[in-house]
Amino acid sequence: MNKKVFNKNIISFYIAFIFITIASSLPHSVLTVLLFQKGLSLSQIMIVQAVYSLAILLSEYPSGLLADIYSKKNLFIISKFFLILMFILVLCGKNIVVMSIAWFFYGISSALDSGTIDAEIINDLKTLNQENKVSKFISNTNRFNFISLLIGSTIGSWIYYRIGIRFYFISILLTLLSILIIQIFYLEHSKMSRPNDSNALTGMLKQINSGITELKGSFDLKLMIALTFVSQFFFQTHYQIWQALFLFKGFNKKNFFIYYIIFQLISFIAYSIPFSSRSINKKSKRYLSVEGLIMIIGLISIPNNNKIIFLVSYLMLVFVFTFFDYFSNVLFSEAVSIERISSLTSLKSSCGRIASLISMMLSSFLLNLFSVSFVVTLNFACAIISSLVVISIFVKKQARPTPE
């Protein structure tokens, strides 16, 4: 592949990705307030979020299969039209039915986007024999994501109280710009994964069969999917309940935006650590052991009533789990084949989505019986113990001598 074309593609992707992330994150810091204004109750907001997760769960793996068979660029663009449709429905709708439909389209958009242009860039790096740069690409993408989230949520929280829900027009404009950038400047070239079958269903069935075969033959892929699954018990608890937990601990809700920024900065740092599968050695295994110890200490300290001890422990857990997420993404991307990267990446994400739904349903039930602190500690304990088991299996496997 022409390196000049590749560099142009990756810059186009980064710019479009930034625009999309800002467009999607404008309502983040005021979303609950916005949905209250639309007439939804707190329980109805949870239903809308569940519809979003269900849409992703139902459509993500099929969309990954399509991305392996057909044009990743076209699927990326189609996903953005679904996103625009979601923005329009939120602008015009005012009840739970319309909001549920809007978030269902949002889920389809997220699912279609999974494993498209980003996966093709990873394939291009492999084709150019630059596998060592896969981790850098994933790191850069996530760092741009965190920066864009901060920009979008900050701007959104400021302009919402000035122009109201009309800030979705800005989201629509940014999304249209991202579509134009990809359409004009991104050159799709890969034809290697396109089957000759005239029947799309036949092609998808072949892709499923070959994907299962590849997954069965790769212990690393299975371990990284397992790590993604168990870590969702931490991430979903963190995303959905951290504000309620901080209120329970006596933190001032006026400072929540500061903590949100700190979380993003921690994630930015975690994804900035140089890492690839080739760099795994005895030293890095020691680091993983230290991070395991930090997780245990953090878990023990979560129930502590001292605000400083609690906050430091909580932030340490956010850092470690974010790094593990980076760790699993890099190893999975480097191990998966070029032909099936989209479908298996979507499968990995779908497994994480199943764990997310399980975690949310269990937490919703347990919160009626126990304190928020107990429910968070229970979820964190499940995530930490399971993650340590997966990591220890991976470390032991790496310690075994490779057969000649």
Tell me what percent of the residues of the chain surpass a pLDDT of 90: 20
Residue 399 is predicted with a pLDDT of 61
Which CATH fold would you assign to the domain 213-398? Growth Hormone; Chain: A; (1.20.1250)
Residue 182 is predicted with a pLDDT of 95
The Cα–Cα gap between 102 and 140 comes to 30
Residue 193 is predicted with a pLDDT of 46
- What mean pLDDT comes out for the span 330-339? 80
CATH code for the part of the protein at 3-190? 1.20.1250
More confident residue, 94 or 202: 94
- Rounded to 5 degrees, φ, ψ at 219 are -65, -35
User: What is the location of CATH 1.20.1250.20 in the chain?
Assistant: 213-398
* pTM score above 0.75: no
Residue 201 is predicted with a pLDDT of 59
Please give the full DSSP string across 239-261, using - where no structure is assigned: HHHHHHHHHHTT--GGGHHHHHH
Please give the full DSSP string across 191-255, using - where no structure is assigned: -TT----S-HHHHHHHHHHHHHHHHHH-HHHHHHHHHHHHHHHHHHHHHHHHHHHHHHTT--GGG
More confident residue, 174 or 343: 174
The most confident of 93-102, 188-197, 216-225, by mean pLDDT: 93-102
Per residue in 72-88, pLDDT (tens digit) is: 898 899 999 999 999 99
> Is pLDDT at 184 greater than 80 in this prediction?
yes
Query: pLDDT class for 53, splitting at 50, 70, 90?
Result: confident
- Helical segments of 26-41, H only: 31-37
Per residue in 211-247, pLDDT (tens digit) is: 778 888 888 888 889 999 999 999 988 887 787 888 8
Which pair of structure tokens corresponds to residue 238?
């963190």
- What mean pLDDT comes out for the span 264-289? 70
Mean pLDDT of the chain: 82
Scan for tokens 């005012």, then name that residue.
94
- What mean pLDDT comes out for the span 85-110? 93
Residue 287 is predicted with a pLDDT of 64
**3-state SS, residue 274:** coil
